[in-house]
Amino acid sequence: MNQSSDSPALRLLAVEDDPSYGALLRELLAAEDPRVEVASVTSLRDAIDLLGRRGADCLLLDLSLPDAAGLAGLERLARAFPALPIVVLTNTDEESTALAAVAQGAEDFLAKRRADGATILRAVRYARGRKSVEADLRRTGAQLAAAEELAQLGSWEWDLETHTVRPSRTLCRIYGLDEERFDGDFERLMSCVHPEDRPSLEAAITQALGGDGGRFESEYRVVRPSGEERLIQAVAQVRRDGAGRPATILGIAQDVTERARAHATVEVLQRSLLPRSLPEIPGAELGACYRPAGAGNRVGGDFYDVFPAGDGSWILLIGDVAGKGPEAAALSALARYTVRADARREPDPGRLLELLNEALVREGQRFCTAACARLDLRDGVRSLTTAVAGHPPPLRVRDGRAGVLLSAGTLLGCYPSVSIEPRRERLVPGDTVVLYTDGVTDAQAPERVLEEEEVAELAAASADLPPAQMASRLGAAAIPDSRNARDDIAVLVAKIA
């Protein structure tokens, strides 16, 4: 279908060693959308030169080039132009090649013999959407870095080749060093570490350099020039060069001597994992509740999100990652943004959870449970498609009675592939859909664990309330004596008008 003239033109670059196929690409895409501009080059060198001069909205890359065979060209382009969406378009349709291409930085993979104009254009739009989401995630990271600065989190980068370290201004303040006079000597920085704690810190660094993961955490004391001791918690990651050799170590260190400061950081981190506000959905009203476990001094692992899918329906997502703290925060962000990106082309909740499992396994992350629902209120049709992966099933409240929407699904991140069976329901005006994490059932554990039927009864008893109040009522009902919950609690409610 031809696109409206109001749509912005797409500037594509085809890197294809066969000029005749490059011409065919132009014909296919022009027939689909005359506004698409397709430039062609026949070598990797020419592609790098053209991209440096004029850029492109998306790259269509063949893996058989005269100056770059296989994935070598893809790796170079992805490294040189990290913000550029890349769709691999080649003669093979082997799954192993496709997976390897995506792992090397491609957003999508198409076999030439199956690629018509519509398919290619759809892949291009998906690739651009996914890159846009990645950019949003990077911006969120920058905002988080600013919040960490406010919370007295220092950062450092250690160049392993020159053995020099570049500490941030905040880190120098934490260590009691003069930023202007510090010359980058790593040994000088390490000399601030308490003699009793230095061996364990050095052991953690050595283990990270020799291992596959390259990430380490350490808690140690530093002694300022004044003699004052400060307790530090550090997290660092080894970065490797193209040959796999350790090149740099990036890390952050927080002064946790004053727990109030750490608590302020947790609040900023936790807010970054949840939507700032819920969207307005025509034909439905939303509400949510989040209550962290304990005294709220650690980042929780529960998350929720609501956003539009690519087909005009809406995705409701709720989940629970393993653990607490920075790792849980990173995993929650990965889960939310992965599902958001994939929903632009795949609105099916079961498939979205399967794609999330692939991302978690690929990144080597810890496990995660999730429930995903697709709410479709278009053209007078009210339907709900749900899928769960090791997570409490959603509830539907109708006429004062709550039913459990059971379906099969395995928790995510543990197995290379999972099978998720979605369930579809018809909705009527007045129906209420409730998604919640196991913090609702486990908040009073081990003294008491609520059954799913008990949660359903609580939901039915609160169904007359507005969604926001209903979510809060369910969160409060899980811990009626106002004690600190043993687990994070998240509740998401949608009421159909």
pTM of whole model > 0.85?
no
Compute the distance between CA of residue 257 and CA of residue 221 in angstroms, rounded to an integer.
10
pLDDT of residue 9: 78
pLDDT of residue 145: 52
Q: Are residues 331 and 351 in the same domain?
A: yes
pLDDT of residue 3: 47
pLDDT of residue 139: 73
Q: Is residue 225 part of a domain?
A: yes
Compute the distance between CA of residue 277 and CA of residue 339 in angstroms, rounded to an integer.
18
Whether residue 315 is predicted with pLDDT greater than 90 in this model: the reply is: yes
Q: Which long-range contacts (CB under 8 A, 24 or more apart) does 71-77 make?
A: 71/100, 71/101, 71/104, 73/15, 73/44, 74/101, 74/104, 74/105, 74/106, 75/104, 75/105, 76/44, 76/48, 77/44, 77/47, 77/48, 77/51, 77/105
Amino acid at 54: R
Cis-peptide, bond into residue 446, ω within 30° of zero: yes
Q: How far is CA 406 from the centre of its chain?
A: 27
- Domains in the chain: how many in total? 3
Q: Are residues 125 and 171 in the same domain?
A: no
Q: Are residues 209 and 289 in the same domain?
A: no
pLDDT of residue 260: 47
SS3 state at 438: coil
Amino acid at 16: E
Q: Within the chain, what is the greatest distance between any pair of CA atoms? A: 74
Q: Are residues 122 and 182 in the same domain?
A: no
Whether residue 405 is predicted with pLDDT greater than 60 in this model: the reply is: yes
Q: Which long-range contacts (CB under 8 A, 24 or more apart) does 118-122 make?
A: 118/1, 118/32, 120/25, 120/28, 120/29, 120/32, 120/60, 120/87, 120/89, 121/29, 121/32, 121/33, 121/36, 122/345
Backbone angles phi, psi at 226, to 5 degrees: -75, -10
Residue 486 binned pLDDT confidence (cut-offs 50, 70, 90): low
Q: Are residues 90 and 195 in the same domain?
A: no
CATH code of residue 138:
3.40.50.2300
Q: Is residue 262 part of a domain?
A: no
pLDDT of residue 272: 66
Q: Are residues 157 and 100 in the same domain?
A: no
Taking residues 5-26, report their average pLDDT.
Answer: 84
Q: Are residues 423 and 466 in the same domain?
A: yes
pLDDT of residue 275: 84
Whether residue 294 is predicted with pLDDT greater than 60 in this model: the reply is: no
Is 324 or 442 the better-scoring residue by pLDDT?
442
Q: Are residues 173 and 134 in the same domain?
A: no
Choosing from 142, 171, 194, the residue where a domain stops is 142
pLDDT of residue 317: 97
Lowest mean per-residue pLDDT among 102-106, 121-125, 260-264: 260-264
Please state whether beta strands 164-167 and 215-223 pair in parallel, antiparallel, or not at all (unpaired): unpaired
- Here the tokens at position 121 are 């254009």
Compute the distance between CA of residue 395 and CA of residue 440 in angstroms, rounded to an integer.
13
Compute the distance between CA of residue 84 and CA of residue 106 in angstroms, rounded to an integer.
9
The domain in which residue 34 lies consists of: 11-142
pLDDT of residue 4: 46
Residue 371 binned pLDDT confidence (cut-offs 50, 70, 90): very high
Compute the distance between CA of residue 47 and CA of residue 39 in angstroms, rounded to an integer.
10
Q: Is residue 263 part of a domain?
A: no
Q: Which of 292-296, 341-345, 432-436 has the highest mean pLDDT?
A: 432-436
pLDDT, tens digit (0-9, with 9 covering 90-100), for 212-245: 778 899 989 999 999 998 988 899 999 988 888 8
Is 151 or 12 the better-scoring residue by pLDDT?
12
